[in-house]
Amino acid sequence: MTDIDTPRCGYVAIVGRPNVGKSTLLNHVLGQKLAITSRKPQTTRHNMLGIKTEGNVQAIYVDTPGLHKKNEKALNRYMNRSASAALKDVDVVVFVVDRNRWTDEDQLVLERVQYVQGPVLIAVNKTDRLDEKGDLIPHLAWLQEQLPNAELVPISALQGHNLDTLERLVAQRLPEADHFFPEDQITDRSSRFLAAELVREKIMRQLGAELPYQITVEIEEFKQEGHVLHIHALILVERDGQKKIIIGDGGERIKRIGQDARKDMETMFESKVMLNLWVKVKGGWSDDERALRSLGYDDI
């Protein structure tokens, strides 16, 4: 990106179905952990900006929830609205797809991306896992037929392969403009939001198949006292059984969740952290529009 000699700045939506690698891509582009990741679909629930400033180029990436067909709960509808809204006012779209798998939800995203007026890049992810690179050619040809004006970029978000090419193509397509954010700012989200997301990530990773989707995390206290950052986080679930799963036998599971979250928080906030976790039952929150707004699901 060093060959660009005039200031460029703009918004770049990262879109795709759930669990295709969008948040991993954002983290590797930024060079640090910002968006939470897990193997579970629908890990990302909110649009979040990841801002990368390098020389004359400021690319403002919008990490979006995966577009998905399940719409029966207010939370699912909120995530789909967030992802769709991101396509409306951006300068470049990066459509992340799998190297050899196409689902109904990929098709759903494709149908939205086909109406985008601006430049589209198709990031074909996980290509490092292909035994034969030739196996990719028919899939690339088919993708090009679907979006004739898009440019295809084979990448590995996890390994960082070919991300420099993707970033260069993004930079070339951004409009000439002064930068919107200070050079050292990497997100629009508050530290409280990032702390809540880290706790939620550890829950999703710890619980695996047992995971109750109806969990969210509220930060009730976030206070620096001397060299120690005190964080009190409330984990909300919908049923008593979910509360028991998160706490675990003798409190072992919630202890591990807290230990893992605290380590990441100390790295992110560059401070010693004292983290306290509680679990509370709040029935029906994930299908209650008013409850969702009170919990911060109101950013579109």
Q: Are residues 134 and 263 in the same domain?
A: no
Residue 300 lies in a domain: no
Has residue 43 been placed in a domain? yes
- Comparison of pLDDT for 289 and 278, the residue scoring more: 278
- The answer to whether the CB of 59 falls within 8 A of the CB of 171 is yes
Residue pLDDT, tens place only, 157-205: 888 899 999 999 999 999 999 999 999 999 988 899 899 989 988 988 8
| Residue 20 labeled ligand binder | yes
Q: Are strands 228-237 and 8-15 parallel, antiparallel or unpaired?
A: unpaired
Residues 197 and 289 in one domain: yes
- 119 in a known ligand binding site: no
Mean pLDDT of the chain: 83
How far is it, in rounded angstroms, from Cα 48 to Cα 45? 9
Q: Is 67 annotated as a binding residue?
A: yes
Residue 194 has phi, psi (to 5 degrees) of -65, -40
71 annotated binding-site participant:
no
Question: Is 64 annotated as a binding-site member?
Answer: yes
Do residues 113 and 20 share a domain? yes
How many Å apart are CA 205 and CA 200, to the nearest integer?
9
Q: Do 115 and 195 share a domain, yes or no? A: no
Q: Is 285 among the domain residues?
A: yes
Whole domain around residue 43: which residue ranges?
8-172
Residue pLDDT, tens place only, 2-53:
467 899 999 999 998 888 888 889 989 998 888 766 555 444 555 678 999 9
Is residue 51 domain-shared with residue 156, that is, in the same domain?
yes
First to last CA, the chain: 31
**Contact yes or no for 9/181 (Cβ under 8 A):** no
Number of domains, the chain: 2
Known binding residue 158? Answer is no
The answer on whether 282 is annotated among ligand-binding residues is no
Among the residues of the chain, which ranges form H helices?
A: 22-30, 74-86, 104-113, 137-146, 163-173, 191-207, 240-247, 252-269, 289-294
Whether 115 and 235 share a structural domain: no
What's phi and psi for 269, nearest 5 deg?
-100, 0
109 and 150 part of one domain: yes
Structural domain contains residue 1: no
Q: Tell me: is residue 164 an annotated ligand-binding position.
A: no
Contact assessment for residue 243 and residue 287, using Cβ atoms and an 8 Å cutoff = no
Query: Is residue 185 situated within a structural domain?
Result: no
With a CB cutoff of 8 Å and minimum separation 6, the contacts of 86 are 13, 15, 47, 62, 64
17 assigned binding-site residue: yes
- Is 22 annotated in a binding site? The answer is yes
Residue 159 placed within a domain: yes
| Rounded CA separation 178/172 (Å) | 15
Q: Rounded distance, CA 11 to CA 34, Å?
A: 17
Among candidate residues 143, 172, 201, the one where a domain is terminated: 172
User: Was 43 annotated as part of a binding site?
Assistant: no
CATH classification at residue 269? 3.30.300.20
Asked whether residue 241 falls in the same domain as residue 126, the answer is: no
Q: 172, 199, 223: which is the final residue of a domain?
A: 172
Last residue of a domain, one of 120, 139, 172: 172
The rounded distance, in Å, linking the Cα atoms of 151 and 144 is 8
> Is residue 93 marked as binding?
no
Q: Residues with Cβ < 8 Å from 36, sequence gap 6 or more?
A: 23, 43, 44, 197, 198, 200, 201, 204
Please tell me what DSSP assigns to residue 249.
G
Residues 164 and 22 in one domain: yes
Spatial separation of the C-alpha atoms in residues 124 and 139, rounded to whole Å: 9
Beta bridge partners of 125: 98
Indicate if 67 and 102 belong to the same structural domain.
yes
Residue 20 sits in a domain whose CATH number is 3.40.50.300
- For residue 96, tell me if it sits in a domain: yes
Chain CA centroid to CA 132, Å: 30
The CB density around residue 148, as the number of other CB atoms within 10 Å, is 6
138 lies in the same domain as 219: no
- The predicted-structure confidence for 232-273, as pLDDT tens digits, reads as follows 999 988 888 889 999 999 999 999 999 999 999 999 999 999
The confidence score (pLDDT) of residue 68 equals: 46
**Per-residue model confidence (pLDDT) at position 173:** 96
Residue 65 marked in a binding site = yes
In a domain, 109, yes or no: yes
Q: Quick one: tokens of 77? A: 């509808």
